Amino acid sequence: MSGATSPDLAARLRSAGLRPTRQRVALARALFEREHHHVTAESLHAEAKAARNPVSLATVYNTLNQFRDAGLLREVVVAPGRSYFDTNTGHHHHFYVETDGELHDFPSDKVTIEGLPVPPKGTKLSRVDVIVRVRR
């Protein structure tokens, strides 16, 4: 097995202004070296432990916030006290299955939103979130 730290990841962290520490690289691997997915702080913490790369929960929180601030992750709030981090930072929207807390992406290329009002004076657009809520 390749125990080598992916140089890409280290570089990516560095260029985001983050030192590629053991913990950050471990979390970055769990996050970015696979398909796009959604994590919570708890789930990522558990995943890191399972991969024999234990990271304290506080560090998981710090790291998720840093990655989000650096634009590496996108935070999606679907319900009170339920915050997901999405490794897909491109344009897309979400399905949220209310009955079991699942979150799924769907691409935004087919979706067009028209007639949105202009942002209030003195503000600039940050982004538009569309959450399609469904239940079983």
Partner DNA sequence: CAAGCAGTTTAGAACAATTCTAAAACTGCA
Partner DNA sequence: TGCAGTTTTAGAATTGTTCTAAACTGCTTG
Give the binding site for DNA (CB under 7 A). 18-24, 40-42, 54-59, 61-63, 65, 80-83
Site for its own copies in 18-77 (CB under 8 A): 75, 77
Residue 133 as a binder of its own copies (CB under 8 A): the answer is: yes
Which burial class, exposed, middle or buried, applies to 12 when counting CB atoms under 10 A from its CB (0-12, 13-18, 19+)?
middle
Q: How far is the C-alpha of 13 from the C-alpha of 18, rounded, in Å?
A: 5
Q: Which is nearer to its own copies, 26 or 64 (CB)?
A: 64
Binding mask 79-118 for its own copies (x = CB under 8 A): xxx-x-----------x-xx-----x-x---xxxxxxxx-
Q: How far is the C-alpha of 115 from the C-alpha of 117, rounded, in Å?
A: 6
Cβ neighbors of 127 (< 8 A, separation 6 or more) are: none
Name the binder of 23 from its own copies, DNA, none, CB < 5-8 A by kind. Answer: DNA
